[in-house]
Amino acid sequence: MPVVERMSESACGAALVVGGSERERERWRTALVDLVSTEAVADGAEALTCIDEGVEVLVVHRDLPDREASELIATVRDRGFSVRAVLLSPERPEGDVVAQGFDAWLQTPVEADLLVRTVEGLLACRRYDRAIADLYELASEHAGREADTLTVRERIHEARSEADAALAAVETIDREALLANSPAAFSEGGQ
């Protein structure tokens, strides 16, 4: 039975801290808990057991005991969960972290404020993911039909305004990761 720290078996939080020492995990969890419901687990297997659709952000230490951090992110997405992810590493990661599926990386030891700001940025990315998916769905619903009715236009305009506002909350510096790690990139049919 996996050990999930400070959480019930059925209630994964909206952010999930994975890996690091027990003391580090608790420090990172405590830093985030005022921003977002946060839980912590020791390794990838526990993360895969407890993850659910409520988890929006993964905070993953580079040195997981049971698998590569990037492999965990890929598995989570393969299972259909839309998450944004930050890598915690004691040294600069080799290669392009965005290409490895991460939206950001932070050097450990990490200041609590910086961790909070980074996760806040990733939550903003998730809000945008949802808003743009809603807009695309609405636009697709009407493709091939007579779409130019007032009601349809109003609904599309409203959905677009929401997507515009969600995008405005995403820092420009996150834009490459925003586009590269869009949930649409990992969904069935995504390229």
Closest listed residue to residue 40, CA positions, set 51, 120, 149, 119? 51
Q: Is 158 in the site for other proteins (CB under 8 A)?
A: no
User: Binding to other proteins (CB under 8 A): which residues in 82-101?
Assistant: 98
Please identify, among the stretches 9-17, 42-50, 68-76, 177-185, the one whose residues bind other proteins according to the rule CB under 8 A: 177-185
Task: For residues 70 and 60, give the distance between their C-alpha atoms in angstroms, rounded to a whole number.
Answer: 9
Task: For residues 88 and 86, give the distance between their C-alpha atoms in angstroms, rounded to a whole number.
Answer: 7
Q: What is the DSSP string of 92-135?
A: PPSS-TTTTT-SEEEESS--HHHHHHHHHHHHHHHHHHHHHHHH
Q: Is 74 in the site for other proteins (CB under 8 A)?
A: no
Q: Is 140 in the site for other proteins (CB under 8 A)?
A: yes
Q: Which of 138, 151, 158, 169 forms a contact with other proteins (CB under 8 A)?
A: 138
Q: Quick one: DSSP state of residue 83?
A: -
Q: Is 169 in the site for other proteins (CB under 8 A)?
A: no
- For the record, the structure tokens of 70 come out as 């990037």
Nearer to other proteins, 109 or 144 (CB): 144
| Residues of the shown chain interacting with other proteins in the complex, contacts defined by CB under 8 A | 98, 132-133, 135-136, 138-140, 142-145, 147, 150, 153, 156-157, 159-160, 163-164, 167-168, 172, 175-180, 182, 184-185, 187, 189-191
